[in-house]
């Protein structure tokens, strides 16, 4: 299961379709695992399946919202859905509570984009 989930994560940027195939297999094996749900949701998001992505990532967040990567993925999905307020809240919480997680640069960039968009309003 771990190898399958890790492979799905590894393919997420280079081969989103392959990532989704692997993540689907992983979620069938462990449908309640927050890390698997997050990977599956992220793969769905990369493949343009927004509603299903949000549903899975939200489940992962509810089960393990203290995990920075899951929180970041949730913020991205919320933003793509148009929910800027919730995305901003998740990012702000993430950056406050986990200032050194590996994806901090991406999270800060996303927060800056939100701030710039808010200023244009």
| Cβ atoms of residues 79 and 57 within 8 Å | no
- Which pLDDT does position 17 carry in this prediction? 97
- pLDDT category at 115 given cuts 50, 70, 90 is confident
User: CA nearest 77: which of 34, 118, 42?
Assistant: 42
- Which pLDDT does position 57 carry in this prediction? 98
- Which pLDDT does position 120 carry in this prediction? 84
Higher pLDDT, 65 or 118: 118
DSSP string, 70-120: HHHHHHHHHHHHT-HHHHHHHHHHHHHH-TTSTTHHHHHHHHHHHHHHHHH
- pLDDT category at 99 given cuts 50, 70, 90 is confident
pTM above 0.85, yes or no: yes
The tens digit of pLDDT for each residue in 54-91 reads: 999 999 999 997 899 999 999 999 999 999 999 999 99
Between 28-37, 49-58, 67-76, 99-108, the lowest mean confidence (pLDDT) is in: 99-108
Number of H helices, E strands in the chain: 7, 0
DSSP secondary structure code for residue 47 in this structure: T
3-state helix, strand and coil shares in percent for the chain, rounded to the nearest 5: 80, 0, 20
Higher pLDDT, 116 or 44: 44
- pLDDT category at 104 given cuts 50, 70, 90 is very high
């Amino acid at each position: 299961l771990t190898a399958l989930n890790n492979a799905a994560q590894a393919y997420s940027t280079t081969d989103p379709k392959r990532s989704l195939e692997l993540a689907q297999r992983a979620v069938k094996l462990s449908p309640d695992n927050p890390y698997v749900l997050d990977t599956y949701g992220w793969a769905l998001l990369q493949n343009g399946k927004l509603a299903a992505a949000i549903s899975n990532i939200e489940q992962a967040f509810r089960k393990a919202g203290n995990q920075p990567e899951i929180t970041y993925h949730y913020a991205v999905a919320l933003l793509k859905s148009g929910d800027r307020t919730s995305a901003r809240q998740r990012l702000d919480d993430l950056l406050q509570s986990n200032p050194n997680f590996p994806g901090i640069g991406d999270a800060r960039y996303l927060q800056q984009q939100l701030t710039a968009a808010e200023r244009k309003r």
